Structure 1
């Protein structure tokens, strides 16, 4: 509870800062704030040079592929590949896909630069409700709001050289809020994300790193951090088994 409360307060400040900065920029968009726009970098630079470290590899998929609205492809072994940006309405399409595929889907493989937080949260909740696993394959990307989807998996696995990154969430809409509206929205969204991650069993560290990173940068998580924050479960399970033996 203490960690969630700390995250709540920290995020409120982060949200207010970002939204006020957006208002001061008038109609100028933040670089990288929308993976669906052609001038937005799919893979933003690290927060600083070397600290935290840069992504381990370049994504295997071309930027144009990742910028396309998310599409779904059922692969052998019950793996539903979800590739592309999380545009508005992605959660509805995902729910329809899961309903149509029934019990054939066992896990969701993610390759996405992020997008709509609302849709990411809805997808994550459905994944947990259906008891599905999540994974990010070698040289696949799961950034921005995508890790929220990843967190929904019962078992969560990131392959070697998978690219997972987080940063501040923000209002990418056309309406410029007042500072009061920005703070209210910050508190509401912060509470929802903090509560969701806590319910998914994810440690506070992931969210704190996101709060510290501007929306045009990414904090790239190392395999060690993913395990420590309980974002991945395979390493945790292996450690527990080793301890028993």
Structure 2
């Protein structure tokens, strides 16, 4: 026993923290919520981050997380497929749900008008995680800023996009929150349900690894995603301004 204690004492604190972090990731992934919706028989379950309603309630007090700031955006606009619109001052506004294919539309817009774009203004309840990651990677590669205004929403997979900015601007009254990934697959043959669930679980694990790696490369504390893993998909963990400072999610607070 004394020998074991001596060996443990020599382990760096950082190694212990890394072990605890990834152990919690693995444990939480094992209980991810799986919902069956919109599955093509030959395609994997689509990982998404936005169950109904568009604006889930804040996580319960024992799950911590702040109350949701007032969101002024229209629910109808948030529920619509992602709209990409170029505004003045080098702002490209992304409004609505990050639907499958949104990343391709975003890439086409950047290819056509990227020389005018400096800032990506986000107002979205989230959606496809794969598309959010693809949009985020292009934002980082293009050296663009990201912003969420007061009264705006950036929830579910949207914070992955927000975290990708070289500068990340937000109003203190912006609603920024996360919750668990879930796999949607409705219409699958019931006989294949077990296989679909297993495939969704494998996809969720791979996607969680991609998300945490992307956050780290973007300069954001990867432990941010622990709050997503701990929050059921019918609720949202809304970050307080203090938490966003601590997690390096916001680099500049703005008034809007």
The question of 1:54 aligning with 2:67 is answered yes
Do 2:49 and 2:126's aligned partners in 1 also have CA atoms closer than 8 Å?
no
Tell me how far apart the structure 2 counterparts of residues 147 and 95 of structure 1 sit (CA, whole Å). Answer: 18
TM-score (norm 1): 0.82
Distance in 1 (CA, whole Å) between partners of 2:194 and 2:144 is 37
CA deviation after TM superposition for structure 1 residue 42, in Å: 1.3
CA-to-aligned-CA distance 1:109-162 (integer Å, 9 cap, x gap): 000000000000000000000000000011000000000000110000111211
Structure-1 separation of matches of 2:83 and 2:20: 36
Q: 1:137 to 1:219 in 2, by over 3 A?
A: same
Report the TM-score, using the length of structure 2 for normalisation: 0.79
Aligned equivalents of 1:152 and 1:183: distance in 2? 25
Cα distance in 2 for partners of 1:230, 1:201 equals 7
Q: Would the aligned equivalents of 2:93 and 2:122 in 1 still touch at CA under 8 Å? A: yes
* Aligned residue pairs, count: 221
Within the candidate set 205, 224, 230, 1:206 is matched to 224
Q: Report what 1:41 is aligned to.
A: 53
The structure whose Rg is larger is 2
Matching of residue 75 in structure 1 with residue 93 in structure 2: no
Identify if the C-alpha distance between structure 1 residues 229 and 110 changes in structure 2 by more than 3 Å, giving closer, same or farther: same
How far apart in 1 are the matches of 2:111 and 2:81?
20
Q: Give the unaligned 5+ runs of structure 2.
A: 1-13, 37-47
In structure 2, C-alpha distance between the alignment counterparts of 1:82 and 1:182, rounded to whole Å: 28
The Cα RMSD (Å) is 2.2
Give per-residue Cα distances to partners, 1:168-208, cap 9 Å, x unaligned. Answer: 11212335454643442232112111111111111133111
* Greater RCO, CA 8 A, separation 6+: 2
Alignment match, 1:29: none
Which residue among 212, 222, 225 is the counterpart of 2:240? Answer: 222
Q: In 2, distance between residues paired with 1:106 and 1:33?
A: 27
The aligned residue for residue 3 of structure 2 is: none
Q: Which residue of 2 aligns with 1:28?
A: none
State whether structure 2 residue 36 is matched by structure 1 residue 18: no
1:164 aligns with 2:182: no
The answer as to whether partners of 2:106 and 2:135 remain within 8 angstroms in 1 is yes
Any conservation in 2 of the 1:168–1:211 contact (CA below 8 Å)? Answer: yes
